[in-house]
């Protein structure tokens, strides 16, 4: 089945074009928000050759595609005839037989589903770039540690700038996607974020200093690498945007909406939303650090055993901002290492299935899933193509990740750059001072998950008796 045919089928099986409220994608999933989720035929979707699985979470219907998700997303969006911003969907019928209702009401979401959906939409576009940044920083750190590339050389500084850019200027990029999600202009949002990073402002906003605006004194904070303050500010800006468009004549909106938005929101962000967002961020960070410091072994064991399931359900977006904030503030992070053990446990399961399975089809799926996991840490093909087909493998997956997480906790293993697991992310993990113990944990994880899978499947292995 071609991408074109698969895209047509997916559109039809989620209830048709009129049933799609919005569509985004992450590394492996199409994330549909549907007007009426009951119209989606999940069994038929799972039966499509291009679909690895279907998950309902965060108020979204997630169709698991795998590494080819970019091409599938582009084809679906082409067929939906989207506007230039990639968000507005054509309301016409998907095909002559499409009878999806045009007035369907979206089911009411819980506040938690709304939160997860919002965080996912804001962060999803930057995940591949975050991984790329980690690889670049890992490579130059290794070269600097080996003496090949001095960290004072222009080459090092240029490459370091490329690697650090996303994290340092995160407020600008998050402002763009947050404004998209909240229904405001992403370009005005990006300008508000950029203003906070402008040299004149960064020169006076040293965290903790008391400065003033129009005689109003407030405590300043530095916005580089922050997450919560800018998202909170753009959420407030989205309401200001609607208010201005409601009261300003259309002839004046072209100039005065961006003018008033920037003039109002930049000072308000510095004076109100920055400090409030910083306070909330500190509360969350303190809770995260309390959990980490209370028992580092249990902390890493939990991440090792269970984080792969958090990813599977698509709710890792709640944890990722905490990890990135901790990494930006401390220059190191524990759970990004131990949390990746589940990916290697899955690799061990797939490798075992390649060896013990008598089914050629199962061996083929396991080998391709193992290859993708080994290269880039993508787990969905293995999770939905191998583990979901035999629930016993969940035991192997959990025990393997648990073993690796315990080793990470005992040895206090941490990483210094964000990256996906797998070969492509290797430089980020090699650059950590605790790289040796990290890879010991990876090895133990693979061994435990591999042999647990073999033992659990032992009753299914039959050896032919030699001919007399």
> In the chain, where are the structural domains located?
3-82, 112-281, 295-459
Q: Which residue has better confidence, 258 or 92?
A: 258
- Give me the pLDDT at residue 350, please: 94
In the predicted structure, residue 103 carries a pLDDT above the cut 50 = no
Q: How sure is the predictor about 466, in pLDDT bands with cuts at 50, 70 and 90?
A: very low
Distance CA 131, CA 153 (A): 24
Distance CA 177, CA 123 (A): 8
- Torsion angle, CA of 307/309/311/313, rounded to 10 degrees? -140
In the predicted structure, residue 438 carries a pLDDT above the cut 50 = yes
Distance CA 6, CA 212 (A): 58
Angle at 33 between CA 318 and CA 68, to 5 degrees: 80
**Dihedrals phi, psi of 419, to nearest 5 degrees:** -165, 160
Give mean pLDDT, residues 11-29. 85
- pTM equals 0.72
Residue that is written with structure tokens 């979901």 in the block: 388
Q: What six digits make up the tokens of 209?
A: 């200093």
Give mean pLDDT, residues 167-180. 90
- Give me the pLDDT at residue 376, please: 80
Residue that is written with structure tokens 């008391």 in the block: 210
**pLDDT tens per residue across span 274-329:** 888 878 877 877 888 888 888 899 999 999 999 988 877 767 767 887 888 788 77
Residue 22 DSSP code: E
In the predicted structure, residue 130 carries a pLDDT above the cut 90 = no
Instruction: State percent of the chain over pLDDT 90.
Output: 33
Give mean pLDDT, residues 370-394. 85
**pLDDT tens per residue across span 366-377:** 998 899 889 888
Is 350 in the active site? no
Q: How sure is the predictor about 434, in pLDDT bands with cuts at 50, 70 and 90?
A: very high
- Give me the pLDDT at residue 268, please: 92
Q: What six digits make up the tokens of 189?
A: 């949002």
- Give me the pLDDT at residue 314, please: 67
Contact 299, 392 (CB under 8 A): no
Q: How sure is the predictor about 107, in pLDDT bands with cuts at 50, 70 and 90?
A: low
In the predicted structure, residue 159 carries a pLDDT above the cut 70 = yes
Of 26, 52, 172, 196, the catalytic one is 26
Distances (CA, A) of 415 to 162, 282, 338, 405: 19, 22, 10, 14
In the predicted structure, residue 91 carries a pLDDT above the cut 50 = no
| pLDDT-wise least confident of 314-318, 412-416, 439-443 | 314-318
Contact 220, 204 (CB under 8 A): yes
| pLDDT-wise least confident of 173-182, 231-240, 284-293 | 284-293
Instruction: State percent of the chain over pLDDT 70.
Output: 89
Q: How many CA atoms lie within 13 A of 86 on its CB side?
A: 12
Give mean pLDDT, residues 11-16. 90
Kindly report each contact of residues 158-164 with a partner whose C-beta sits within 8 Å and lies 24 or more positions away, as own/partner.
162/133, 162/136, 163/133, 163/134, 163/136, 163/137, 163/417, 164/133, 164/137
For the chain, the average pLDDT equals 84
- Give me the pLDDT at residue 50, please: 85
In the predicted structure, residue 462 carries a pLDDT above the cut 50 = no
Q: Bridge-partner residues for 60, per DSSP?
A: 57
In the predicted structure, residue 41 carries a pLDDT above the cut 80 = yes
End-to-end CA distance of the chain: 48
Distance CA 142, CA 121 (A): 34
What's the CATH code, domain 3-82?
3.30.1360.60
- Give me the pLDDT at residue 110, please: 64
CA-derived radius of gyration, the chain: 24
Classify residue 160 by burial, with Cβ atoms within 10 Å: 0-12, 13-18, 19+: middle
């Amino acid at each position: 089945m071609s991408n074109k045919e698969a895209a047509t089928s997916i559109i039809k099986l989620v209830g048709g074009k009129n049933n799609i409220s919005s569509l985004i994608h992450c590394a492996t999933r199409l994330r549909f928000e549907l007007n009426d989720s009951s119209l989606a035929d999940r069994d038929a979707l799972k039966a499509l050759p291009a679909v690895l699985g279907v998950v309902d979470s965060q108020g979204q219907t997630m169709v698991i595609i795998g590494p080819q998700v970019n091409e599938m997303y582009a084809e679906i969006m082409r067929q939906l005839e989207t506007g230039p911003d990639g968000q507005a969907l054509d309301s016409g019928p998907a095909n002559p037989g499409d009878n999806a209702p045009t007035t369907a009401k979206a089911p009411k979401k819980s506040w938690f589903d709304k939160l997860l959906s919002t965080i996912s939409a804001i962060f999803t576009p930057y995940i591949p770039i975050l991984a790329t940044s980690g690889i670049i920083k890992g490579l130059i750190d290794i070269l600097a540690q080996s003496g090949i590339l001095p960290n004072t050389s222009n080459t090092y500084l240029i490459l370091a700038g490329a690697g650090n850019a996303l994290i340092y200027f995160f407020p600008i990029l998050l402002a763009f996607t947050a404004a998209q999600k909240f229904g405001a202009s992403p370009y005005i949002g990006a300008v508000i974020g950029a203003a906070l990073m402008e040299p004149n402002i960064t020169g006076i906003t040293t965290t903790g200093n008391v400065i003033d605006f129009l005689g109003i004194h407030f405590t300043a904070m530095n916005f580089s690498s922050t997450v919560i303050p800018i998202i909170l500010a753009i959420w407030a800006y989205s309401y200001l945007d609607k208010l201005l468009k409601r009261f300003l004549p259309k002839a004046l909106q072209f100039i005065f909406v961006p003018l008033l938005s920037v003039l109002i929101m930049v000072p308000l962000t510095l004076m109100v939303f920055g400090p409030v967002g910083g306070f909330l961020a500190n509360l969350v960070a303190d809770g995260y650090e309390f959990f980490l410091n209370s028992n580092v072994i249990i902390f890493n064991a939990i991440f090792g055993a269970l984080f792969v399931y958090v990813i599977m359900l698509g709710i890792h977006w709640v944890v990722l901002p905490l990890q990135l904030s901790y990494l930006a503030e401390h220059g190191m992070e524990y759970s990004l290492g131990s949390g990746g053990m589940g990916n290697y446990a899955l690799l061990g399961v797939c490798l075992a299935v390649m060896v013990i399975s008598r089914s050629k089809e199962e061996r083929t799926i396991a080998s391709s899933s193992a290859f993708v996991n080994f290269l880039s840490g993508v787990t969905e093909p293995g999770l939905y193509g191998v583990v979901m087909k035999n629930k016993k493998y969940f035991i192997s997956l959990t025990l393997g990740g648990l073993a690796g997480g315990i080793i990470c906790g005992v040895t206090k293993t941490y990483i210094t750059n964000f990256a996906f697991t797998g070969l492509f992310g290797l430089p980020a993990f090699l650059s950590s001072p605790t790289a040796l113990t990290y890879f010991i944990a990876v090895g133990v994880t693979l061994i435990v998950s591999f042999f647990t899978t073999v033992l659990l499947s032992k009753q299914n292995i039959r050896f032919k008796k030699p001919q007399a």
